[in-house]
Amino acid sequence: MKTLSLIVSIIVGAFLMYGTIDMPAWGDPDSPASTHVSPYYITHTEVDTATPNMVTSVLADYRGYDTLGETTVIFTAGMACILLLRRRGGRNKDRG
């Protein structure tokens, strides 16, 4: 069984590496994401979402519609920050 798992893993890995051959180079300004998607977000983000911060609008508004996970991650991170940074009333009275 271990041999079969190893063979399947090697085959899947080879297909994944083969699939990366057609990918554009890292940071290529002529890639499809840089020529079609990014300019739309840059020019329409404030009009479409009424949010001046481009990162927030992409994560919460544009990506939030197709993946609820993005919004859940941002909400969870915000709640974790609030819980970590909040003050507890009884604890600070003893110190001061």
- Domain that residue 85 falls in: 37-89
pLDDT tens-digit readout, 43-63: 888 888 888 888 888 877 777
User: Is residue 65 in a domain?
Assistant: yes
User: Is residue 1 in a domain?
Assistant: no
Nearest to 41 by CA among 28, 23, 60, 67: 60
User: Is residue 26 in a domain?
Assistant: no
pLDDT tens-digit readout, 66-92: 667 777 888 899 999 999 998 766 555
User: Is residue 17 in a domain?
Assistant: no
Total domains, the chain: 1
User: Is residue 12 in a domain?
Assistant: no
**Residue 65: band (very low, low, confident or very high) from pLDDT cuts 50, 70, 90:** low
- Write out the two tokens for 53: 């911060």
